[in-house]
């Protein structure tokens, strides 16, 4: 395991965090932090959204997670966590698949006391091509049980469960889920890149239908065909319009996460967001 040249005891970081950099989270897989990016995040004063995937859960132990959590928390950084999602199905009609999904989510939930995150991001997991017709209600019932368990577990630690759109074609495919989760503290994470790459409804319709339930934003761009995770402004999404419409519905900003997949794209994202930030 690579040793990370960071002093865990101080409140380090030579950069004074100002402007947009101190208002947003930046996505980073936990394995990348352990393989060298932790030093960069500390040096640059970034607030992480840490991706907890199967590789991280199987490769690292509690001591590793606690050590990284202390480094961020001792420096006053806010943290959000992204739960595992690849090949998982939180509303699956197959009992074995559903059980495995809930086991992986429970492994992520166990980390909540270490990181004390603002949010735990999970994929809602609806795909009309798989769960349409008579399977829709089965998917909904199983999903509700899955998410009520998670929301109840994390709420006591001050974390909020947010469910993200991926393959959902429009907000209508998610409204009944959020209606049924009313009272659990669960909120919507609007992922701009996913609605562009996979959805069929424009951003304004998503915001009109679910804007009051938005607790988090995932911001990244694409050219409308693939989930490219480009820098903001390098694709087809109209971020000034999206953020402007959100600001008219939400008096204060939700949690905002930047999701570029290239290190070189982070600064352009921050610069654009600094220019168009509406709150």
Asked if residue 243 lies in contact with residue 278, where contact means CB atoms within 8 angstroms, the answer is yes
User: What residue segments make up the domains of the chain, in order of their start?
Assistant: 85-276
| Tens-digit pLDDT string for the chain (279 aa) | 333 434 343 333 333 335 899 999 999 999 999 999 999 999 999 999 999 999 999 999 999 999 999 999 999 999 999 999 999 999 999 999 999 999 999 999 999 999 999 999 999 999 999 999 999 999 999 999 999 999 999 999 999 999 999 999 999 999 999 999 999 999 999 999 999 999 999 999 999 999 999 999 999 999 999 999 999 999 999 999 999 999 999 999 999 999 999 999 999 999 999 999 999
Do 151 and 186 contact (CB within 8 A), yes or no? yes
pLDDT at residue number 8: 40
How many other C-beta atoms can be found within 10 angstroms of the C-beta atom of residue 257?
24
CB 234 within 8 Å of CB 222? no
- Cβ neighbours of residue 111 under 8 Å, at least 6 residues apart? 52, 65, 69, 81
Tell me 17's DSSP state.
P
- Closest by Cα among 69, 89, 87, 225 to 147: 89
Q: What class is the 85-276 domain? A: alpha beta
pLDDT at residue number 4: 40
Report which DSSP code applies to 34. Answer: I
Q: Can you tell me which residue has the tokens 């420096």?
A: 75
Rounded to whole angstroms, how far apart are CA atoms 199 and 254?
Answer: 22
Enclosing H/E stretch for 258: strand 255-258
Predicted model pTM = 0.93
Q: What percentage of the chain carries pLDDT values higher than 90?
A: 93
């Amino acid at each position: 395991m690579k040793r990370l040249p960071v002093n865990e005891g101080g409140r380090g970081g030579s950069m004074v965090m100002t402007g947009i950099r101190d208002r947003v989270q930046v996505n980073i897989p936990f394995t990348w932090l352990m393989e060298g990016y932790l030093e960069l995040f500390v040096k640059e004063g970034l607030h992480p959204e840490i991706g907890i995937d199967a590789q991280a859960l199987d490769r690292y132990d509690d001591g590793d997670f606690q050590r990284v959590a202390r480094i961020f928390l001792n420096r006053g950084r806010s943290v959000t966590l992204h739960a595992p999602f690849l090949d998982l199905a939180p509303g699956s009609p197959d009992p074995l698949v559903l059980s495995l999904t809930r086991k992986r989510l429970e492994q992520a939930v166990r980390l909540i006391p270490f990181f004390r995150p603002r949010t735990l991001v999970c994929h809602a997991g609806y795909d009309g091509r798989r769960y349409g017709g008579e399977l829709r209600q089965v998917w909904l019932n199983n999903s509700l049980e899955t998410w009520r368990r998670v929301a109840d577990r994390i709420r006591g630690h001050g974390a909020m469960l947010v469910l993200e759109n991926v393959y959902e074609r429009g907000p209508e495919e998610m409204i009944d889920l959020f209606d049924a989760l009313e009272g659990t503290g669960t909120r919507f994470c609007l992922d701009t890149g996913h609605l562009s790459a996979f959805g069929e409804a424009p951003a304004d319709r998503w915001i009109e239908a679910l804007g009051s339930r938005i607790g988090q934003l995932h911001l990244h761009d694409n050219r409308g065909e693939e989930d490219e995770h480009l820098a903001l402004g390098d694709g087809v999404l109209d971020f000034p319009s999206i953020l402007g419409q959100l600001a008219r519905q939400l008096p204060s900003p939700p949690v905002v996460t930047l999701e570029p997949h290239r290190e070189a794209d982070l600064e352009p994202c921050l610069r654009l967001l600094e220019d168009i930030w509406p709150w």
